[in-house]
């Protein structure tokens, strides 16, 4: 079968590969659509792995074959996949916090095979069936929507609150849509890309701020007196500091980003307001709920798709486009020509 193979920084090749035979608890999936995420782009730009592998972890497809012990799905099922390999034995796993597994491995980021291929293999417990009403291209967005949903679910947010979202990439925009659907009364979006701010307004933001044109925290305090909750999704020190400073007394900062380098802050201003700082990693149990939200249209996820391409063109039209064009958001990849017609 055809698959994209990652060899190193800016070196991804389309090759013919053979998948191994299924193990008892594994499921083979024919891939329909996969999304290139920020982690994929970062790995492509600055390789951190030495092994050759097939990337791709945000995807949808159809079950084609199951292992002898698989009971939760069958060939023909339409599915999405939670891309976390977890051990099930460490303390976080035993407590139900599988996203915090001490032996966590990300499918499609470091393993041998991922979703940028005609077929792939996952564990049975990673598979989530989706409604027939959910198109495969929209279903492929479920994983990043789950990241946004998890951050919102574990926060102290409640209907009627005000919020600021720092970073209007795909997950930030999904979060804005979720906040709007959840009864947030005022949403402020912060981004350096004008087209992303325009989309933020379309998805539910009431106010947008460009950080190079104004003091973000000062502006937020001016228009709101401080928000109840701020979500940091850019991974930049300036964004983190501005998010903290934009909160009202007893406010909460939720860090969803994965910064390239350590971030710090002066605890004294936060102390004087009794600010809470929460971190959010991946997702934990949100996939079925998100599949229903996407099927119902409650989250306008399709608005974040800026380009659809064939697997053969993943290097130039996918990764390179994301590196060179900051207005790009979610690029979807398919191994099937008919999906682009």
- Residues forming a β-bridge with 279: 255
302-332 per-position pLDDT tens digit: 999 999 999 999 999 999 999 999 899 999 9
Residue 146, pLDDT above cutoff 70: yes
% of residues, the chain, pLDDT over 70: 99
What are the b/e assignments for 279-304, b being 16+ CB within 10 Å? ebbbbbebbeebbebbbeeebbbeeb
Range with the poorest average pLDDT among 220-229, 248-257, 265-274 = 265-274
The residue ranking higher by pLDDT, 9 or 66, is 66
Using 50, 70 and 90 to split pLDDT, how confident is the model at 50? confident
Residue 61's H or E segment, with its range, is strand 58-66
Residue 13, pLDDT above cutoff 80: yes
**What local confidence, expressed as pLDDT, does residue 113 receive?**
84
- The model's pTM is 0.96
Give, in order, the Cα–Cα distances in Å from 34 to each of 61, 65, 71, 202, 319: 9, 19, 25, 24, 13
Choose which CATH entry (3.40.50.12780, 3.40.30.10, 3.40.50.720, 3.40.190.10) describes domain 156-279. 3.40.50.720
The full set of domain ranges for the chain reads 2-145+284-340, 156-279
151-193 per-position pLDDT tens digit: 999 999 999 999 999 999 999 999 999 999 999 999 999 999 9
Q: Which CATH architecture has domain 2-145+284-340?
A: Alpha-Beta Complex (3.90)
**What local confidence, expressed as pLDDT, does residue 336 receive?**
98
Residue 54, pLDDT above cutoff 70: yes
**What local confidence, expressed as pLDDT, does residue 141 receive?**
98
Report the distance separating Cα 4 and Cα 17, nearest Å: 9
Residue 109, pLDDT above cutoff 90: no
Mean pLDDT of the chain: 95
**What local confidence, expressed as pLDDT, does residue 42 receive?**
87
**What local confidence, expressed as pLDDT, does residue 211 receive?**
94
- Cβ–Cβ contacts within 10 Å for residue 53, how many? 19
Average pLDDT (81-99) is 96
Using 50, 70 and 90 to split pLDDT, how confident is the model at 110? low
**What local confidence, expressed as pLDDT, does residue 46 receive?**
84
Residue 339, pLDDT above cutoff 80: yes
Using 50, 70 and 90 to split pLDDT, how confident is the model at 289? very high
Pairing verdict, β 247-255 and 227-232: parallel
Give, in order, the Cα–Cα distances in Å from 159 to each of 85, 178, 184, 315: 34, 11, 5, 42
DSSP 24-52: TTEEEEEEEEEEE-HHHHHHHHS----S-
Average pLDDT (204-212) is 96
The residue ranking higher by pLDDT, 111 or 155, is 155
Report the distance separating Cα 167 and Cα 182, nearest Å: 19
Residue 34, pLDDT above cutoff 80: yes
68-78 per-position pLDDT tens digit: 999 999 999 99
């Amino acid at each position: 079968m055809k698959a994209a193979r990652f060899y190193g920084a800016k070196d991804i090749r389309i090759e013919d590969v053979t998948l191994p035979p299924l193990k008892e608890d594994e499921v083979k999936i024919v891939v329909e659509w996969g999304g290139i995420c920020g982690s994929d782009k970062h790995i492509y730009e600055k390789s951190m792995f030495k092994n050759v592998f097939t990337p791709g972890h945000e995807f949808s497809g159809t079950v084609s074959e199951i292992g002898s012990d698989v009971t939760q799905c069958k060939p023909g099922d339409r599915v999405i996949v939670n891309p976390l390999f977890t051990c099930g034995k460490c303390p976080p796993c035993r407590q139900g916090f599988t996203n915090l597994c001490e032996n966590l491995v990300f499918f499609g980021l470091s393993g041998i095979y991922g979703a940028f291929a005609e077929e792939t293999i996952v564990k049975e417990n990673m598979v989530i069936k989706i409604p027939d009403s959910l198109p495969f291209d929209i279903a492929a967005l479920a994983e990043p929507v789950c990241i946004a949903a998890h951050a919102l679910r574990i926060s102290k947010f409640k209907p009627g609150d005000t919020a600021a979202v720092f970073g209007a990439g795909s997950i930030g925009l999904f979060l804005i849509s979720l906040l709007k659907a959840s009864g947030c009364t005022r949403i402020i979006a912060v981004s350096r890309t004008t087209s992303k701010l325009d989309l933020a307004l379309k998805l539910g933001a009431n106010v947008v701020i460009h950080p190079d044109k104004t003091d973000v925290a000062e502006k937020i305090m001016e228009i709101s007196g401080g928000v109840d909750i701020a979500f940091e999704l850019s991974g930049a020190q300036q964004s983190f500091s501005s998010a903290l400073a934009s909160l009202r007394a007893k406010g909460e900062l939720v860090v969803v980003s994965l910064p390239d380098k350590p971030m710090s802050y002066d605890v004294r201003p936060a102390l004087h307001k009794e600010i809470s700082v929460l971190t959010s990693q991946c997702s934990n149990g949100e996939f079925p709920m998100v599949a229903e939200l996407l099927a119902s249209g409650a989250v306008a996820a399709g608005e974040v798709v800026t380009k659809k391409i064939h697997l053969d063109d993943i290097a130039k039209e996918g990764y390179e486009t994301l590196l060179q064009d900051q207005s790009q958001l979610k690029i979807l990849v398919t191994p099937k020509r008919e999906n682009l017609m």
